[in-house]
Structure 1
Amino acid sequence: MESSTSSEPPTNYSELIKTLLSKIEVLVNDNNADEAQPLLGTLNTELKQWCESSEGPSAEQLELIQLRINTILVKANSAKNESSKAIIKHKKSGKAIKAYKASR
């Protein structure tokens, strides 16, 4: 999205990145992290383009983006762990029911 010679306005990467991160965060919070994959790809592409642009992000901006990504990852991993615990508990309950029925 290089627009120094075209009539298109320059991309506001900062706002675009914030929007993408917000959408990813909403999906993670709604336990739909799998649906965030395409957005993660877009985020990666836009970050790369921003870094390669003539007005790349400052170190502070990159640190804030990394902090937000890390926060989202913590939430996603926490939700994944809770889901795993629920699945294991469900499997154990199912085994207990089968054992009980087999003993009757």
Structure 2
Amino acid sequence: MKYLAAYLLLNAAGNTTSADNVKAVLSSVGIEVEDEKVSALMTALEGKTVADLIAEGNEKLSAVPAAGPATGAAGASTGAAGEAAGEAAEEEDAEESDDDMGFGLFD
């Protein structure tokens, strides 16, 4: 990911997106550069524009299924348990707020 980020930074700045420039960007911020990864990136991006890369990424993201809502029966059965847990948490919060006796850490 860092190699692609360096490539995109160079492109956005209008600089030449060569392997040497990608290595220079990464080295300038103290990242150890692996030559194999830089060459693999340059090979994968050969002949593609940034717009093409963004379009490919959007296609891949749209292919990921979204999680649906829980079923009504499961939600109803957990509702009572959730209410009981909520009441217990409220009681604990009330007890904890009394512990400081009105003095806060930064008062």
Fold match (TM-score > 0.5)? no
Q: TM-score scaled to structure 2, two decimals? A: 0.26
TM-score (norm 1): 0.26
If asked which structure has higher relative contact order (CA below 8 Å, sep 6+), I would say 1
